[in-house]
A and B are shown apart, each in its own frame.
Chain A
Amino acid sequence: MTTEEKNILTQSNKKPSEVVINIEGLKKSFGANQVLNDFELKLYKGESVVVLGKSGSGKSVLIKCIIGLLQPDEGLITIFDQNISQLDHEGMDKLRAKLGFLFQGNALYDSMTVRENLEFPLRRHWLKVSQKEVNTMVLEALENVGLAHTVDMMPIELSGGMRKRIALARTLILRPEIILYDEPTTGLDPITGKEISELMVEIVDKYQTSSLIISHDMNCVRRTADRIILLLDGRCYAEGDFETLKNSKDKNISQFFES
């Protein structure tokens, strides 16, 4: 792909505003496998960016580096102008309170009820919060995802779609400014996947959150993306909105939109 073509594709529906996540020259390898190689990304406030790429292309590694679960080999990650590599544990925890992370497998705590699952991040990040406030926030978060009746149920009693919604409610409870989604519709049927995608759009509208979404699901990508970044060989190969990339003649890009 030529630079000119790439520039043409670098167009988004939304006008850039404040940068909330800035990544420059990110490198991460596992042994001889170079997963991320000089990866660059800017996420603007209120924007939803989808990172698209083949399995094993390093998409999940990328968001795990952003949230601090993996340490990059090289490069700069700044979130709200804070260089995360210079933050200590306490600083990182404070920053994480502004970030939500929806895990691919939901990562609900099996030994806790839905209420306890939602209370956990609240109690950990906001130490001085009364039980009454906690109850209100838990119910509000569950109402946001339409599952207030499951408050005393165990995760094992819920369907896959319900678990995903509960995980989303847990992510939302701290009112994060940025939400990172790791394949939010994987393993769900098309109808539930559509519901989750719509919920993600509602969240952006309601809370003005910025979103970084890792996904293979083109229906989810079409519904949620303001801008798409195609990850290939550890780098940003192409960038643009859904329609622009869909109409691209480049085989590396068009193969994602063929199905």
Chain B
Amino acid sequence: MPKLPLHLQIFLKETGQLARFTGLFFKEGLKPKYEVQEFLHQCFLIGYKSLPLVGLTGFIMGLVLTMQLRPSLVDYGVESELPAMVGIAIVREIGPVITALIFAGKIGSSIGAELGSMKVTEQIDAMEVSGTNPFKYLVVTRVLAATLMLPILVLLSNAIALYGSYLGVNIRNVTSFQLFYDQVFRNLSFSDVVPAFIKTFFFGFAVGIVGCYKGYYSNKGTEGVGRSANSAVVVSSILVFLIDLIAVQITDLLGYN
């Protein structure tokens, strides 16, 4: 039987281990006792502490997108459609994906580095010796917090991006706040908002589970911690795009596009 190339073997092994890790998450996550206090603490760290970064990038995203789109729309004589076009682009695609990528960079790396560092300094073992299930305490809480916080961050980021867009529109023209938002929301439908919102839960889950997996199985000392943080960002960013690709196919099949 021909032997698989080494890179493919490593890829398949990693995929299998990540799948097993995900299975363990559901098994441990459903079993009592629940680490509610640590979960709320993680929601604060993952959600609240990410707000400034997500808000800033959302604002710039809305502003820049508006300024970049305007010349083309002016050429076609449809400048008045600018709020609607930016609104749909942000809510359907750019808002969720860019926010998820920022989230992967900030939260994926921090979870990977934190758990990796805990692993190599035996803090995870110390937790087990202290009568705590480290998987439940560290992994389940962080993955759940990431899954629930990202959709909220995306909603806030979208709102701030639309405000950035409103300012972008007003650089050249004078448009009232009410008129701008009226144009945005009149052109947004259920099929624009809901599928885009649902996929953010999957983005959050992917970032959380990959960050935890990379950190939890970190090895090779301090070098391994850096590697865990780095690969957590790379793998979760790729997964965000893959999930987005699958989501667009599903919404297409369901007739939401």
Q: How far is the CA of A96 from the CA of B126 in the complex (A)?
A: 11
- The answer to whether A109 and B131 have CB atoms under 8 Å apart is no
A97 touches B131 (CB 8 A): yes
B121 within 8 A of A: yes
CB distance from B175 to the nearest CB of A (A): 47
Contact of A107 among B114, B123, B131, B132 (CB under 8 A): B123
A121-B121 in contact (CB<8A)? no
Asked if B130 lies at the interface with its beta carbon under 8 angstroms from chain A, I say yes
Contacts of B121 in A (CB 8 A): 105, 107, 110
How many residues of chain B get a CB closer than 8 Å to chain A's CBs? 15
Chain A 59-71, CB within 8 Å of chain B: the 1/0 string? 0000010011100
Q: Is the CB of A125 within 8 A of B131?
A: yes
Inter-chain contact A96/B117, CB cutoff 8 Å: no
Q: Contact between A89 and B133 (Cβ–Cβ < 8 Å)?
A: yes
Cβ-neighbour of A69 out of B117, B123, B128 (below 8 A)? B128
Contact A104 B122 (CB under 8 A): yes
Closest to B132 in A: A124
Is A120 close to B, CB under 8 A? Answer: yes
A64 to B118: give the CA distance in the assembly, Å: 17
B129: interface (CB < 8 Å): yes
Interface residues of A in 89-142 (CB under 8 A from B): 89, 93, 96-97, 99, 101, 103-105, 107-111, 120-121, 124-125
Apart from the given pairs A96-B131, A99-B129, 20 other A-B contacts in the complex at a CB distance below 8 Å: A68-B128, A69-B129, A96-B129, A96-B130, A101-B126, A101-B129, A103-B126, A105-B121, A107-B122, A107-B123, A107-B126, A108-B126, A109-B118, A109-B123, A110-B123, A120-B132, A121-B129, A124-B130, A125-B130, A125-B131
- B residues contacting A by CB (< 8 A) are 114, 117-118, 121-123, 125-133
Which are the 3 A-B pairs with shortest beta-carbon distances?
A107-B126, A121-B130, A107-B122
- What is A's interface to B at a CB cutoff of 8 Å? 64, 67-69, 89, 93, 96-97, 99, 101, 103-105, 107-111, 120-121, 124-125
